[in-house]
Amino acid sequence: MHREIDTLILTPDDMGRIDHDAAASGLSSYGLMERAGQAVAAAALRRFPGALRFAVLCGPGNNGGDGYVAARALQEAGAAIAVYAFGDPATLKGDAAEAFGCFKGPVFALADYAPRVGDVVIDALFGAGLSRDLPETVIRTINAVREKVLPVLAVDLPSGIDGRTGQVRGRAFEAVATVTFMCRKPGHVLLPGRMLAGDVEIFDIGIPGRVLARHAGHSRVNTPALWRVALPTETSATHKYVRGHLAVFSGGATATGAARLSALAGLRAGAGLVTLLSPRDALATNAAHLTSVMLKPLDSEDDLAALLEDARLKTFVLGPGFGHMDKARHYVRRLAETGRQLVLDADGITAFRDDPGSLFQLFAASDTRLVLTPHDGEFARLFPDLAADKGLSKIERAQKAAARSNAALVLKGADTVIAAPDGRALVNDNASPWLATAGSGDVLAGIIGAHLTQGMPAFEAAASAVWRHGEAGRAAGEGLTAEDIVNALSGLSEIG
Ligand SMILES: NC(=O)C1=CN([C@@H]2O[C@H](COP(=O)(O)OP(=O)(O)OC[C@H]3O[C@@H](n4cnc5c(N)ncnc54)[C@H](O)[C@@H]3O)[C@@H](O)[C@H]2O)[C@@H](O)CC1
Ligand SMILES: Nc1ncnc2c1ncn2[C@@H]1O[C@H](COP(=O)(O)OP(=O)(O)O)[C@@H](O)[C@H]1O
Ligand SMILES: [K+]
C-alpha cells in the first residue's frame, strides 16, 4: 500500500526540526535512537548471517549513538563485534552519551581499526550532521575498507555523503545497504549518493505522521500515486480530438530523425493525432518514414500563423534536431503569444542562451504552459548562475529554475528532477542506465507533449512522462535504442 511517508524526501534540516518537535511533543528522543540502533542491528543480522565479525564504527554525534545501540543489540544476539570510535566517546553528549553508557564492552580508537576479511562494517560515523569534508583519519579508514572490499551497512547515510545534496565530502563509504529512519533524504536519491547508499531501507522509528507532515517540504520521489488522478481517463466516448492534437517541429533535410522520434512517441503516449511540421526541403525525407504521423509543410512564421488559426492545435514540441536558432525564437514567441502549450527541448533551449530572460518573459503571465527539458549542459545555458552554484542540490537548482522561468522544469540525468514554479519537486528513480542513448531525450519530449495535449497540467504531465520513459526503458532492456523506447511505450501495463 502506498504511504505518504514512503515518497517524502526530507532534508537534514527538516529532520532536525522534526526531531525537535517530536521531543517537544513528549516523545523520548533516546527512544528514537534506541529503535534506530535496534533496526540497524536487525538489518545487519538479516543481511549478513555469515559475518565473522561486525566492526561497528561510531562517530562523535547521534549517528555514533545509533552505532552504540546497534553494537549492544548485536552483542546481545551473540554476534562477534568490535567497536571503534572516532573522537573520545567520553565527550559524547545527550542521547549518544546515554547509548555509549549502555554499551558494555571495549571501544578502540578508529585509527587502530585494521579491516580483516570476514568483517562486516557498520558505518555509524556521520549521518545527517556531516557539515564539512571528512577528516583524514576517517578517509584512511574508508580507503582501507574499500581496499579489502568489505561489505558496509550504513546507518542513515554512508559517511561522506552530504545528506542535503548527495555530493561526496572528500571521500565516502560505498554501502551494500543503508538503514535510514522515517523518510529518505536528498542524499539517498541524488547522485552520487544514490549509487553509494546501496539498497535503502526506511525504518519507522515512531515519529508521528502529523509531526513529519508539519515540516515536510515539497520534495517527493516520483511515483504514480502523486499524479495518477491527473491522468487522462479513457471512456468509450473518447475520440481522437478529445485525446488532443500534438504538433512537432522538424529540423531540416539532414536532421529529421529527432523530431520523428518525438512525434511517434507522442502518438504512442496517447495523443489522438500528431502532426510533424516540416520544412519543405525535408518533406520527402519525412514522408518516406511516416505513416500514422501526419505531415505538414512549414517554413516560415507566416506558415505558422496560418496554422495557429486552428484552435484545436494546442500543444507543440520544439527543439529536437531543430537547428535554426532565429526561427526557434520567433516560433516560440508566436506560440507563447497565442496561448499555446510548449515542450521546449534541445536546440529550442539553446536558442535562448544569449537572452534567457526573454523566454521567461514570454511565459511569465499565465498558468504553467511551458515545459523545459534540459540536460545539465542545456540547463547551464539558461541558468548559468544556478548551474555554477555548487552549494545548491540538484533539487534546489531545479526548484529555483522552475520558479524563475514559470515552467515545469525537467532537469535530466540518471536522477532526473521535475520541478514546478510553486516549489514542488520530484526525483525520478526508475530510469535504467540504458536510457543514456542518442534520441532518448527526444522520445521523452514527445511523451510530455502527448500528456499535455490530453489535458494534464504541466508538472503532472512532465512527471508522469519521465516515469513512463523510465518504465519503457526498463521494458526495452539492455542495448535499447530510442526506437525501442517508443515501441515499449505501448506495451506498458497500466501505470502504477
Ligand atoms: N529523528 C532522527 O532523525 C534521528 C536521528 N538519529 C541519528 O542522528 C544522526 C544525526 O545526528 P547528529 O546531528 O548528531 O549528526 P552526526 O552524528 O551525523 O554528526 C554530527 C557530529 O559530527 C561533527 N562533524 C560534522 N562534520 C564533521 C567533519 N567533517 N569532521 C569532523 N566532525 C564533524 C559535528 O560537529 C557533530 O559533533 C542521524 O544521521 C541518525 O543516524 C537517530 O538517533 C534516531 C533519530
Ligand atoms: N545514466 C542514466 N540513467 C538513467 N537515465 C539516463 C541516464 N543518462 C541519461 N538518462 C536519461 O536519458 C535521456 C537522455 O536525454 P538527452 O540528454 O536529451 O539525450 P538525447 O539528446 O540523446 O536524446 C534523459 O531522459 C535522461 O534523463
Ligand atoms: K553513517
**Residue 61, ligand 2, Cβ within 6 A:** no
* Pocket perturbation via mutation, ligand 1, pick of 17, 21, 63 by most ligand atoms within 8 A of CB: 63
CA 231 – ligand 1 centroid, Å: 41
Residue 233 to residues 236, 312, 494, Cα–Cα distance (Å): 10, 19, 12
ipTM of predicted assembly, 2 dp: 0.95
Look at residue 496 and tell me whether its pLDDT is greater than 60.
no
Distance 269 CA to ligand 2 centre (A): 18
Backbone dihedral angles phi then psi of residue 315, each to the nearest 5 degrees = -130, 135
Contact criterion met (CB below 8 Å) for 64 and 40? no
Q: Give the number of other CB atoms < 10 A from CB of residue 292.
A: 10
Asked if residue 226 lies in contact with residue 193, where contact means CB atoms within 8 angstroms, the answer is no
Closest CA to 276 of 328, 402, 169, 264: 264
Shortest-distance atom of ligand 1 to CA 134: 29
- Owner of C-alpha cell 512564421: 301
Give whole-number Cα distances, 105 to 31, 75, 81, 100, 150, in Å: 21, 9, 9, 10, 23
pLDDT at 491: 76
Task: Please state, in angstroms and rounded to a whole number, the distance separating the CA atoms of residues 230 and 465.
Answer: 12
Cell 504511504 locates to: 3
Q: How is residue 234 written as a grid cell?
A: 479513457
Residue 347 in contact with ligand 2 by CB distance below 6 A: no
For residue 461, give the nearest of 469, 449, 477 by alpha carbon.
449
Strand 273-278 vs strand 53-58: parallel, antiparallel, or unpaired?
Answer: unpaired
> Exposed (0-12), middle (13-18) or buried (19+): which is 229, by Cβ within 10 Å?
exposed
Q: Coil, strand, or helix at residue 395?
A: helix
CA neighbours within 13 Å on the CB side: how many for 479?
0
User: By C-alpha distance, which of 88, 32, 96 is closest to 63?
Assistant: 96
Closest C-alpha residue for ligand 2 atom 5? 414
Atom of ligand 1 nearest to the CA of 128: 39
Strands (E), 245-358: 245-249, 273-278, 294-297, 313-318, 341-344
Residues flagged as binding site for (6S)-NADPHX:
62-66, 127-133, 156, 258, 321, 375, 442
Coil, strand or helix at 343: strand
pLDDT tens by residue, 66-87: 999 999 999 999 999 999 999 9
Determine whether the shortest distance from the Cβ of 431 to ligand 2 is under 6 A.
Answer: yes
Whole-number Å distance, alpha carbon 215 to ligand 2 midpoint, is 33
Give the pocket of ligand 1 (CB within 6 Å). Answer: 15, 19, 32-33, 36, 59-66, 126-135, 155-156, 181, 205
Comparing 11-20, 118-127, 399-408, the range with the smallest average pLDDT is 11-20
Per-residue confidence band for 231, with pLDDT thresholds at 50, 70 and 90 = confident
CA neighbor of 44 nearest in space, from 124, 162, 152, 167 = 152
SS3 state of residue 54: strand
Atom of ligand 2 nearest to the CA of 433: 3
**Superfamily of domain 4-217 in the CATH hierarchy:** YjeF N-terminal domain (3.40.50.10260)
Mean pLDDT, the chain, rounded, equals 95
- 9-55 pLDDT, tens digit each: 999 999 999 999 999 999 999 999 999 999 999 999 999 999 999 99
Q: Tell me how far the alpha carbon of residue 154 lies from the centroid of ligand 1, in angstroms.
A: 13
Point out the annotated binding site: 62-66, 123, 127-133, 156, 159, 258, 321, 375, 412-416, 441-442
- 413 pocket-lining for ligand 2 (C-beta < 6 Å): yes
Looking only at the bridges linking them, the beta strands covering 425-427 and 417-419 are antiparallel
Cα Dmax for the chain: 83
Q: How far apart are the first and last CA of the chain?
A: 12
If phi > 0 it is left, if psi is from -120 to 50 it is alpha, else beta; for residue 244 that is: left
DSSP letters, 181-219, are ESSB-HHHHSTTHHHHH-EEEEE--S--HHHHHHH--SE
Taking a C-beta distance cutoff of 8 angstroms, is the pair 148, 81 a contact?
no
Residue 321 pLDDT more than 50?
Answer: yes
Report the separation in Å between the CA atom of 110 and the middle of ligand 1, taken as the mean of its atom positions. Answer: 17
Residue 123 and residue 155 in contact, taking contact as beta carbons nearer than 8 Å: yes
Residues 417 and 466: their CA atoms lie apart, in Å, by 9
Query: Is 326 within 8 Å of 354 (Cβ atoms)?
Result: no
Ligand 3 center to 106 CA (angstroms) = 21
Closest CA to 186 of 402, 417, 375: 417
Separation of CA 47 and ligand 3 centre (Å)? 17
* Ligand 2 pocket check for 441: Cβ under 6 Å: yes
What is the distance in A from the centroid of ligand 3 to the CA of 156?
Answer: 6
- Distance in angstroms (rounded) separating the CA atoms of residues 267 and 331: 23
Report the separation in Å between the CA atom of 326 and the middle of ligand 2, taken as the mean of its atom positions: 26
Concatenating the DSSP letter of every residue in 116-176 gives -TTEEEEEES-STT--SPPPHHHHHHHHHHHHTT--EEEESS-TTB-TTT--BSS-----S
Which residue CA neighbors atom 13 of ligand 2 most closely? 441
Q: Does position 233 have pLDDT exceeding 80, yes or no? A: no
Q: pLDDT-derived band of residue 494, with 50, 70 and 90 as boundaries?
A: low
Residue 243: which pLDDT band, with cuts at 50, 70 and 90? Answer: confident
pTM score, whole prediction: 0.96
Ligand nearest to the CA of 411: 2
pLDDT digits (tens, 9 = 90+) for 101-121: 999 999 999 999 999 999 999
pLDDT of residue 29: 94
Residues forming beta bridges with residue 20, ordered by sequence position: none
Domain boundaries, the chain: 4-217, 224-489
Query: Looking at domain 224-489, does it have CATH number 3.40.1190.20?
Result: yes
Give the atom of ligand 1 at the shortest distance from the alpha carbon of 12: 3
Q: Which numbered atom of ligand 1 lies nearest the CA of 155? A: 41
CA–CA separation, 437 vs 428, rounded Å? 18
Ligand 2: residue whose CA is nearest its atom 9: 436
Q: Tell me the pLDDT tens digit for each residue of 161-178.
A: 999 999 999 999 999 999
435, 333 Cβ separation under 8 angstroms: no
For residue 164, what is its C-alpha cell?
542535503
Q: For a pocket test of ligand 1, which of 130, 200, 201 has the largest count of ligand atoms closer than 8 A to its C-beta?
A: 130
Q: Which atom of ligand 2 is nearest to the CA of 431?
A: 4
